[in-house]
Amino acid sequence: MTQRAMEEEQQARIGNQKWTQYLAAFIATIGGFIAGTALGWTAPAGPMMKNNQYSFVISIESLAWIGACMPLGAMLGCPVTAGLVDKLGRKNMMIMLCIPTLVGWAMMIWAESVAWICAGRLLTGFASGSLSVIVPLYTSEIAEKEIRGTLGTYFQLQVTGGILFTYVIGSYFDIFGLTIICAIIPIAYVALMVLIPESPNFHLMKGNVEKARLSLRYFRGPYGTVDQELSIMQDSLAKTERERVPLMEAFQTTSAKRGLFIGLGVMLLQQFSGCNAVIFYATFIFKEAGSAMEPNTSTIIVGIMSVIATYVSTLIVDRLGRKILLLSSIIIMAICTLLIGAFFYMKANEYDVSSIGFIPLTSMCVFIILFSLGFGPIPWMLIGEIFPAQIKGTACSVACMANWFFAFIVTKFFSSLVSAIHIYNTFWLFTLFSILGTFFVICIVPETKGKTMDEIQEMLGAGSDLTPPTHANASIDTKGKF
């Protein structure tokens, strides 16, 4: 009984010491909330701009570009971040990115032309794209392997929270009130970021072992095995340094190529599975299904479902695993887009659909829930796990840049695609991508639940094509500086 009590006390101590990791991840991923407000702003702001709440006229084509400028700016932010994140640090970069965010919101508040709004959207997009690289990287580096998946899903949870926030605020305020409130959030973010430490990995990369120890002590608490974990981290970084090769050569390794293929694949599937189409057409689908709800109400309901489902994902991702959630998500999403396409096909061909009006509405709700459980949050978490340390910053930025590029394509050209091939064929095209995604997940995506970073790299083939260095200057002093 005494031994059992001691074991229970030890487990309680281990559980209690994780709260700092949850807190730091929550604060850092407010960057995702900021990105969510930038993404969601056009949904309530679009009708306001049509109603001439600005002092100048905004055409339909201009609205399309205003929406597309955000992911376009995010694409530009990703490569810039890749070059700076290992020089300036994760925490410092997250704080500094609030500057272009604030400037962007200010340009949109006091805009004198469409060009001003587009420039503001580019800046807020630039910051959002950069945060989508840094935040998952930071959370993966501070987390213990048992909760790394949970913390990794916080970013997408915050993104969906930011989108819902704009939906709610946009239903009560005009475009200027909405934009001003969105601009306040980065200021609060800076104040909160001061409270948490830099990633211990970054301190070790800079050779400051004592700062790394203090940072790790904060995240692991008084009962954490800090020195033991610090030694493992140093050995891992030492191995990385011994095997360091030029960047382009590093991308030729088996683990790097497999990691990049997986990262780009899940990002493509996230965007081309139809998530944005379902969200864009949410109000239209509600209307076609015979719903009497106001457009703002239906949009808010969609946002609430997304946030709740993403939150559930944070609770189960480290229990069920990444792969099963991705697989369940993509299969059900394929069925949903197939049914939505079938409904619109029958409607376009003048079939009587009055008795099946519930199908598009139900399919849309199920789609959003399953997307938010799997293909919404997990790709962002996965890219923080699958890349070798040598190329992690660059590879994460490439994957994120690809994601924003795909988002730009969908945002800018979705309406044109609907006009060209009809809405039902468009949804069936999304079904095709989801079917291909099912095979991709089964055959290509590894299960990373409960694995250390080194174990994940071994799964991806690390070491199979590397030869040990023979030159003396490849060594590293793991007790001091690199």
- Segment 147-199, tens digit of pLDDT: 877 888 888 889 989 999 998 999 899 999 999 999 999 999 999 999 999 99
- Give residue 144's pLDDT: 85
* Of 43, 101, 61, 56, residue with least CA distance to 77: 101
Contact 206, 87 (CB under 8 A): no
| CA 276 to each of CA 16, 94, 207, 280, 369: distance values in angstroms, whole numbers, following the listed order | 39, 26, 44, 6, 14
Confidence of residue 386 (pLDDT cuts 50, 70, 90): confident
pLDDT above 50 (res 471) = no
pLDDT above 70 (res 366) = yes
- Higher-scoring residue by pLDDT: 100, 43: 100
Confidence of residue 317 (pLDDT cuts 50, 70, 90): confident
- Over the stretch 68-117, which tens digit does the pLDDT of each residue have? 899 899 988 888 887 788 888 899 999 999 999 999 999 999 999 999 99
Q: Torsions phi, psi of 439, nearest 5?
A: -65, -35
Task: Quote the pTM value.
Answer: 0.80
Look-up: residue for tokens 């991705």?
326
Both tokens of 174, joined, read 């005009």
- Give residue 140's pLDDT: 84
- For every residue of the chain, which 3-state class applies, written as one string? CHHHHHHHHHHHHHHHCCHHHHHHHHHHCHHHHHHHHHHHCHHHHHHHHHCCCCCCCCCHHHHHHHHHHHHHHHHHHHHHHHHHHHHHCHHHHHHHCHHHHHHHHHHHHCCCCHHHHHHHHHHHHHHHHHHHHHHHHHHHHHCCCCCHHHHHHHHHHHHHHHHHHHHHHHCCCCHHHHHHHHHHHHHHHHHHHCCCCCCHHHHHHCCCHHHHHHHHHHHHCCCCCHHHHHHHHHHHHHHHHHCCCCHHHHCCCHHHHHHHHHHHHHHHHHHHCCHHHHHHCHHHHHHHCCCCCCHHHHHHHHHHHHHHHHHHHHHHHHHHCHHHHHHHHHHHHHHHHHHHHHHHHHHHCCCCCHHHCHHHHHHHHHHHHHHHHCCCCHHHHHCCCCCCHHHHHHHHHHHHHHHHHHHHHHHHHHHHHHHHHHHHHHHHHHHHHHHHHHHHHHHCCCCCCCCCHHHHHHHCCCCCCCCCCCCHHHCCCCCCCC
- Give residue 284's pLDDT: 67
- Higher-scoring residue by pLDDT: 12, 281: 281
- Higher-scoring residue by pLDDT: 15, 292: 292
How far is residue 137's CA from residue 389's CA, in Å, rounded to a whole number?
11
Both tokens of 145, joined, read 């392997």
- Give residue 244's pLDDT: 67
| CA 304 to each of CA 179, 204, 398, 452: distance values in angstroms, whole numbers, following the listed order | 21, 41, 31, 34
Average pLDDT of the residues in 22-32: 94
- Give residue 481's pLDDT: 37
Confidence of residue 473 (pLDDT cuts 50, 70, 90): very low
What percent of the chain is predicted at pLDDT more than 90? 31
What is the pLDDT of the chain when averaged over all its residues?
83
- Give residue 482's pLDDT: 27
Confidence of residue 258 (pLDDT cuts 50, 70, 90): confident
- Give residue 464's pLDDT: 61
Confidence of residue 42 (pLDDT cuts 50, 70, 90): confident
* Of 368, 334, 329, 281, residue with least CA distance to 342: 334
Confidence of residue 10 (pLDDT cuts 50, 70, 90): low
- Give residue 274's pLDDT: 83
Confidence of residue 463 (pLDDT cuts 50, 70, 90): low
Most distant CA pair in the chain: distance in Å? 78
How far is residue 285's CA from residue 291's CA, in Å, rounded to a whole number?
9
Average pLDDT of the residues in 377-391: 80
Look-up: residue for tokens 């949410």?
282
- Give residue 183's pLDDT: 96
pLDDT above 50 (res 225) = yes
Contact residues for 355 (Cβ-Cβ < 8 A; gap 6+) = none
How far is residue 257's CA from residue 35's CA, in Å, rounded to a whole number?
29
Burial annotation 10-49 (CB, 10 A radius, 16+ → b, else e): eeeeeeebbebbeebbbbbbbbbbbbbbbbbbbbbbbebb
CA dihedral angle for residue 409, residue 412, residue 418, residue 423, rounded to 10 degrees: 70
Helix axes 175-193 and 148-170, enclosed angle (nearest 10): 150
Confidence of residue 251 (pLDDT cuts 50, 70, 90): confident
How far is residue 282's CA from residue 292's CA, in Å, rounded to a whole number?
13
Contact 146, 17 (CB under 8 A): no
* Of 243, 159, 246, residue with least CA distance to 470: 243
What percent of the chain is predicted at pLDDT more than 70? 87
Average pLDDT of the residues in 315-326: 85
* Of 405, 368, 403, residue with least CA distance to 278: 368
Hey, what amino acid is at 283? T
pLDDT above 60 (res 302) = yes
Both tokens of 97, joined, read 């990115």
